[in-house]
Amino acid sequence: MIKTLGWRTKGPWQSFTGPLGSTSKSRQAFIEQVVKTHSHQCQDCGLASTETPMHPTGYLEIRPINHDYDEAQEDRWQAVCAFCHAQTLLIPSLESGRFKLIAAPWLSQVELNRALWPLLVALNDRHHKNYSDALLAYKTFEKQETPVGTLISCLPTSSAKAQGNIMDFLRSADLTMTDEQYENRGRFLNGLRLLPVPSLFAEETAFMQDEAFTHQITSP
């Protein structure tokens, strides 16, 4: 029996009318086909997923190109890893408790995601040869944690609902702001990143190979 990763069983499927709102069997088949079409690789950070009999899609998720999760056309979906997918679903990702918000402008989110996968592999195995170094690196990132309320306070007051990519929405103009306030907010938002909580990705990292990524962890 195929084991389904948590994000596929706990998602808000009841609100979807497209292929992700279908039965578990057809939903899984749709996800597998999209991931296969993209050669089991995250289309943002390039993470190559390991396919196993128990996890046909490895640790990849899928994301609609047009941000419509009811999209029925298979060619309008992309394979992405959980960390890159979270960028599109910023607020829900933070509300889920799976991610923390940090200020890390010295790394792009894609660069951070590449570093984080092998980091979490080591953190979720106390006997891993790189556990101590990984813990130190993760704590460095944790020190940059930013209260979610600070992010919410930056939401434009001119719109009640985010459309499309949440970060594009957050950067949109607010007519009540001065040019200086807008520029300051833009610099702040551009430096925000999502940091995953290691224990909540133990399932994905349990069967990930150390060689999935080799990336130098850097700090400010």
| Residue 116: C-alpha distances to residues 24, 54, 64, 112, 209 (Å) | 30, 24, 24, 6, 13
- Both 65 and 99 in one domain: the answer is no
Look up the domain containing 117 and give its range.
90-220
pTM of the model: 0.74
Residue 1 lies in a domain: no
Q: Which residue in this structure is represented by tokens 């749709």? A: 30
Q: Which residue has the higher pLDDT, 105 or 9?
A: 105
Confidence category of residue 13, pLDDT binned at 50, 70, 90: very low
Q: Are residues 73 and 147 in the same domain?
A: no
| Domain count within the chain | 2
Domain shared by 213 and 110, yes or no: yes
Choice between 89 and 214, residue whose per-residue pLDDT is larger:
89
Q: What is the pLDDT of residues 131-170, one digit of tens each?
A: 999 999 999 999 999 988 787 777 655 444 444 455 555 5
